[in-house]
Structure 1
Amino acid sequence: MPNYQKMSLRLFMFTPWDTFDHKSAEEHLVCSEQRPALVESYKDIGAPFSMMASTMLLLSLLAGVGTVTVVQNPPSLTVDEGDMAEMFCDIRNVTGKIQITGHYWFVNLHIDPVLLRNDSRTIVTQNSLTIKSVTADDAKLYFCIVRDRKLNQYSGNGTRLSVRGVGTVTVVQNPPSLTVYEGDMAEMFCDIRNVGKIQITDNFWYVNLHINPILLRNDSRTIVTQNSLTIKSVTANDAKLYFCTVRDTKQIQYPGNGTRLSVRAFFTSATPHTTPYDEDEEPDFNDYHYLYHVILLILLVLALALYWKCVVRRGERR
């Protein structure tokens, strides 16, 4: 390529078209006989070519600044309530002239972000976040953020924290209902299940837990244990609803489903049936079976007497 073409290409490459001095370009051309044609051709191709050159120059300058990649680990984390949660922030690919000046941890970066600071349960460092004694309210999305000296921010991919409950307590009572005769012994049982990490400290038995509850204690007729309740010499007054209740270290109570005790009166031949008759209740004819037997016996006797009388009269006629 001739020298005048090389000079002109260099001049086009580093000079925007709107500030290009075509007159000076003409002075750089060595071959005067080709000068007019070359200048016109440069005017036709110079505008798009100089724009492309400017874009390449801008990209090269930006490449010199550098990039930052923030990687969070783990992407998701599940812990039990009351345990400690730890997540980490790794800053990579810090190239060029970028200078990291700040490290931050946020909760819910894109919607209602909350900046985390050190407190009694939270430990914030440049590369990690630690939450002690995790609760259900801590189940959120956490972001590690770094900032350079030009206040540009670079966000991590986030760590989602999930919190498992410390456990649930299920108190199952057996039997759900119990019927005994007056004077007999009644026994009911309490089974504590699915405790998990909950620490049970107390067991109680109540009568009518929700309305006027009465706490049962050991006495001459009542035996109270952690898993059972025994009532000896049951009376009609013992016909109630009994609840087994347990309590944990936080004074939270977990009641059972209840056991309903029914008491049936025990009758002997020497003890008449004294239950009053309810007008709305249909009579139980089994209680009067002896009356029917007497009536049938009387009818039978009358029939025999009548038959005998008829036989005697026929004998007298003959």
Structure 2
Amino acid sequence: MSSRLYLKAFSLLSLVLSFLLPGGLSAQAQLQSGQFLEGDKPVVDYYEDLDDKTYYHQKRIHGMKGELNNYSQKLHNLQKRFDEIFYGLSSQRKFSTPFDLTNQPSRPESGRFEYNSTLPSIEERRPRASLIEEVREPVVDQLAFNVQSPGEFTGGEQAPAPSSKTSAGSSGSGLGKYLILSPAVGFPHRTQDNADSLRKYDPGMAVSLAAGFRNGGARFGLGASFKKHSFHKDALNKGTGSALTGSSETIAAYLDLGYEVALVGSLEGYAGLGLGYFTSRTDDPLDRREDGFFATGALGLSYQFTHLFALRLGYRYYHEEEVPAHLSELGFDFDF
């Protein structure tokens, strides 16, 4: 009899547990899932009423429009400065912001929206927090570099040629250094005629090398030159009546002065002056040697290919006692 009672009690307990345990586990899982979802939901998704939500999002949208206007202005200024610095362009296009911010958002009047009173109150689910935040005005000039820096650029939309050396040295300011190598063809304009000989010369070759400093368009430094002319077929030794077959060579050192001025685009004009000392030797029967005051002047055009190199074409007058000459020279101008 007692064993039957124990068996019935055990069966009843098993039946109760079979109903309780699945329901308890399911309820616990639902509770944990609900807590997880509720914990994941941000605070800003809860509002006291629909007016708060509408006003809050209007303020956020208005603030984002202000930031986009500010970033658009900065991007326009950055592009303008980039064109001016790297291409020398000066944009005349007017800029307008993409959004109109004259209308400020305002809180809707109470009672504008109708609410469903049957819906459960949000406050019953979660305590209300302070959700309406002041939208900060966009901060100005917080880029990595200042795009508002002043600059004075004029001109059209055409990209200019490489910058001229006449504004500054190659480093952009202060002194620049130059080296000019100028081979030339010399045309003598004087015939030496005396009791000993008749010295007439053929066109010859010359080369000049000048180096120094450049500040804006001014140039100052030191130069050296070499010039050689052979005797013309009519050159004559009057003592013997034979033709002269030697040559005349001149070496000069001088103070090199010059000035360059921009003309059109990469084209520049230049003028130069050299004052110094020369020595010459002439292979006639007397083996003449002379020295004295040396002077040279130059005029020409220069085309700027890059910041570091320009090609020069010009005229130079070469003054010395034995063979003064007019030179047509081609110059290679290197800037450092």
TM over 0.5: no
Q: Tell me the TM-score normalized by structure 2.
A: 0.27
Give the structure-1-normalised TM-score: 0.28
